[in-house]
Structure 1
Amino acid sequence: MTVRWGVIGTGGIARTFVGDCTAAGVVFTAVGSRTQESAESFAAEYGIARAHGSYADLVADDEVDAVYVATPHSRHAEDALLAIAAGKHVLVEKAFTITADEARAVVDAARRADVAVMEAMWTRFLPQMTMIRELVAEGRIGRPRLVEATHHQALPDDPTHRLNDPALGGGAILDLGVYPISFAIDVLGAPSAVAAAGTLSDQGVDTQMGIVMTHEGGTQSTVHFALDVRSPNTASIIGEDGRIDIDATWYTPTTWRLRDRDGVVVEEFDGREELAGYAHEVRAFEAMIESGDHEGGAMDPEETVVVMAAMDEARRQVGVRYAADSASSTAR
């Protein structure tokens, strides 16, 4: 089957995603924005036939089978639920929602509607990550004991920018921290304990945060992320018999090396020539739709809820509060 995609949102990530996936042959039939003008401009730029001046009109479009949600974090749950209610399959940009409670509401709604829903954690679907998972599963580094990963970027410091606005889910954790946190949970499983420390901006969002998570069997992960400094952004999976080192930028197509216990390189991979990286997650999602099996896979919806819960706890400890936190407390 050919899955016909609609896009909610016309910002930077939507442009990157659509441009990348169009080059790989993904079919986009419609785009929705808050204004007709913005939708038409986006549609013209990417050769999309149908432009809608509201998200409601986009999800009501009979020429759309699946929706990609590319709005700010603060709207993810609302927009995903809108699409699910219209019977559309939904791929939601990371971070999936603001809170774990919102994530649970979206996942449960998708189950009731019998549609697929998935977080657009594109890194998990890159060929290099598939290979790395296989190496770990085969025991090539022995029992994994530690995951280390960073994500630092020097991003706009304008207090009105969405990255710095708590009303829009600003801060480092939802934009940047989700990558290493999700990576650690992918490798080591759900954390049994989370310990976090960080620094807040004048607006009350985290500019940097460090987290140590404890996982099954006493294994640990250490992650650090910040939105006002740059670093190499590398990652490692350290096992009892060796380790896997992933080079900069670890969450994009890059190089990695498998080392034995003595640090000698025994295998390496260069994925820098990989094109259309976002298309891997789209093709995996389309396969879920076609098979009718909406669970499991490289980014299982239940694991997304686990990732969101870990971020909730880290934010609680550091003092990052969003309006959705109050809503979640009231719902409970």
Structure 2
Amino acid sequence: MRELSWGIIGCGDVVLKKSGPSIFRAERSCIAGVMRRDVDKARPFAAANGIALCTADAGQVIGHPDVDVVYVATPPSSHREYVLAAAAAGKHVLVEKPMGMSADDDRAMIDACGAAGVELFVAYYRRFQPHVLAMKELIDAGRIGRPVMGQIDFAMPAPGQEWGWRLCPEISGGGLFVDIVAHRLDLMVYLLGAPEDVHGLGDTFGCGALTIRFADGALCTVAGDFVSDRTADRFMIVGTEGTICAEKLDSHRFTLSSGGAVETLEFEPLPAPHLGLIRHIERVLNGDGGNASSGEDGRLTDVLIDEGLGRGKACFANLSGRG
């Protein structure tokens, strides 16, 4: 299996604390170059990790002859620009979530990568964490019977200025519902399959709620609360013969209720949050399996939010047959 060389566009907190360490820990990855508009803020990271190219020019990273994969880790407002440039250069792409400012942006990125014959991955890294993979295995094995109901309840006190651009719609495309709840929504789709209908009320900055019907008939309620003083991160799937429930999704622990017994399952976290995703990308780009966090996957989550909340509007939408 060959080693992948990465070029990173946007060397901010997510790279410094999460994805950067994950790439370094992966068995077959290295970083050839990093870009940040305020390049001086990226220099310590580059120097500490032996990264030769550190620049304010994204074109230098995208055009670097050694780069196999371009990781677009900027705010959403520039995702489309950089993904299209990477595709035009024949580079595979990993783009941060939310994938784009709109589902239409997502479609443009998917089409560009498809036309260029390169893979497009979306950084929904929780899909590859051990506790989520265990949930999927249990559901697929029928341990809770046929899934009939899902529930996502996320709440945190009103965000302050420390959240920066995430609270600016012109940059983020939506508030913390788009930034945080989208991760949980993606997992529900990953575990329950294709959604058909979505009904939403509220908005993506304060309080937003979605009700989703999946193709097999399962229903899911999704609540994002960023105005009260409570804290919650509940993720639950109810089946005809049992229930999976994580009272705190990122605790790497959940309960399995099945056959009259209740079992608590705990999992060792990966040594770096994105490590499972990076390893998956290594395998896919070496011909071992298909893309399990694709542009189409990322777009579907954006469609649910766009159609359900309109990134600020309440509406009802039937998703069957949407292209």
Question: Is the pair's TM-score, using the shorter chain for normalization, greater than 0.5?
Answer: yes
What corresponds to 2:3 in structure 1? 2
Q: Is the CA contact 1:196–1:317 (under 8 Å) kept in the aligned structure 2?
A: no
**Displacement of 1:297:** 3.7
| Distance across 2 between alignment mates of 1:230 and 1:18 | 32
Query: CA, structure 1 residues 29+253, in 2 after alignment: closer, same or farther (shift >3 Å)?
Result: farther
Change (3 A) 1:317 1:62: closer
For 1:315, which of 300, 309, 315 is the aligned residue?
309
Contact 1:197 1:317 in 2 (8 A): no
In 1, Cα distance between the equivalents of 2:140 and 2:83? 33
Distance 1:258 1:243 in 2: 6
User: In structure 1, what is the Cα distance between the partners aligned to 2:234 and 2:59?
Assistant: 41
Residues 1:175 and 2:169 are matched in the alignment: no
Q: 1:270 aligns with which of 245, 248, 266?
A: 266
SS in 1 for 2:299: helix
- Please name the residue that 1:191 is paired with: 195
Say which of 52, 56, 59 aligns to 1:56: 59
1:303 positional shift: 2.3
Could you list the structure 1 runs, at least 4 aligned residues long, displaced by more than 6 angstroms after superposition.
none
Unpaired runs of 5+ in structure 1? 200-204, 321-332
* Aligned-partner residue type, residue 24 of structure 2: T
Match of 1:327 in 2: none
Indicate conservation of the 8 Å contact 2:26/2:279, yes or no: no
Letter matched to residue 136 of structure 2: R
Residue 292 of structure 2 aligns with an amino acid whose one-letter code is A
**1:287 aligned partner, one-letter code:** R
- Mapped to 2, the partners of 1:22 and 1:128 lie a distance apart of 22
How many angstroms apart in 1 are the aligned matches of 2:269 and 2:60?
A: 39
Segment drifting more, 102-111 vs 156-165: 156-165
Report matched runs for 1:99-110 at 5 Å.
99-110=102-113
Query: Residue by residue, what CA displacement relative to the aligned partner does 1:154-199 show, whole Å, maximum 9, x if unpaired?
Result: 4642399212111112402220121121122112223222111225
Aligned match of 1:74: 77
Q: Give the distance between the partners of 2:102 and 2:296, measured in 1 at CA.
A: 14
Do structure 1's residue 221 and structure 2's residue 225 form an aligned pair?
no
* Deviation (angstroms), 1:261: 5.2
The code of the aligned residue for 1:257 comes to T
C-alpha change, 1:227 and 1:20, in structure 2 (3 Å) is farther
Provide the rounded CA distance (Å) in 1 between the counterparts of 2:117 and 2:278: 19
Structure 2 contact 130–269 (Cα < 8 Å) conserved: no
Indicate conservation of the 8 Å contact 2:98/2:298, yes or no. no
Structure-1 residue corresponding to 2:241: 241
Q: What amino acid sits opposite 2:81 in the alignment?
A: E
Q: Is the 8 A contact 1:140 1:241 kept in 2?
A: yes
TM-score with structure 2 setting the length: 0.88
Give deviations 1:99-142, integer Å, cap 9, x for gaps: 11111111111111111111110000112212211111111100
Change (3 A) 1:232 1:173: closer
Instruction: Give the drift of 1:317.
Output: 7.5
Pairwise CA RMSD: 2.3
Could you tell me how far apart the structure 2 residues matched to 1:91 and 1:110 are?
11
Q: Secondary structure at the match of 2:142?
A: coil
Are the structure 2 counterparts of residues 29 and 275 from structure 1 closer, same or farther at C-alpha, using a change threshold of 3 Å?
same
Contact 1:152 1:225 in 2 (8 A): yes
Q: Counterparts of 1:153 and 1:9 in 2: how far apart (Å)? A: 27
SS of match in other structure, 2:292: coil
SS in 2 for 1:68: strand
1:239 to partner: Cα distance? 0.1
Give 1:215 shift.
1.2
- What's the offset of the Cα at 1:269? 2.3
State the SS of the aligned residue for 1:124. helix
Structure 2 residue runs of 5 or longer lacking an equivalent are: 315-323
Structure 1 residues 21-30 or 123-132, which shifts more? 21-30
User: Which secondary structure does the structure 1 equivalent of 2:152 belong to?
Assistant: strand
Partner of 1:89: 92
Q: Distance in 1 between matches of 2:291 and 2:186?
A: 14
Could you state the TM-score of these two structures normalised by the residue count of structure 1? 0.85
Conserved in 2, the CA contact under 8 Å of 1:152 and 1:176?
A: no
Q: Percent identity of the aligned residues?
A: 28
> Residues 212 and 154 (structure 1 numbering): CA distance in 2 closer, same or farther, change over 3 Å?
same
Aligned equivalents of 1:186, 1:195: Cα separation in 2? 19
